[in-house]
Structure 1
């Protein structure tokens, strides 16, 4: 039995220099659909051609190639984080919250690969 119950969504988060330019590239080249730009959070999100999978673009001054982080949707991030921590999973700092948008928490697999939990707070 899994420690947490993930929902049926997956966001692949990548760091980019210019979210707007990158979003245009994914729309033009791969046919993705822009869902939104959230400028105050430095975040853009696109629907991929795979149901339940989105691409998130986080803006950074110097993004590193190969920096994709799978972001798993959950209904209760605090409860699921506590369960994972109790199971020995290491997290990177506290849970981050953008009120009315999302709460996220980065954690690591046994090889140090970054993964993330996200709880949608938008009421959608």
Structure 2
């Protein structure tokens, strides 16, 4: 753990969730359920928390939101990567394709194999597995 002028850095236990803006709660929830195996954990009026195991996503309803025209020109979270065990990576890519998801790759980044795809609102997602 690194030291700062105020003592040690916080002892983080993991990433609790990430949040995305979406246009339709039911459409996004259904997609993440059907494609990624997530389930609804809690519903508020304009926000739903979905999850699977220790991975959670906050879906924030923004009916009139516009997609980002060119993500490479803005400071933003570019994509989210889901880790897959190496022996399941090929199956995962084929499964996504069998569900009608357009998958780019896989590609070998030198340290991992990665494949990229998008959710119904165009958020960039990745499945990855590291070399042994």
Q: Indicate the TM-score class for this superposition, using the shorter chain for normalisation.
A: 0.3 to 0.5
TM-score norm. by structure 1 comes to 0.46
Point out the structure with max Rg over C-alpha. 2
Q: Could you say which structure has the greater relative contact order, defined with CA pairs below 8 angstroms and 6 or more residues apart?
A: 1
TM-score norm. by structure 2 comes to 0.43
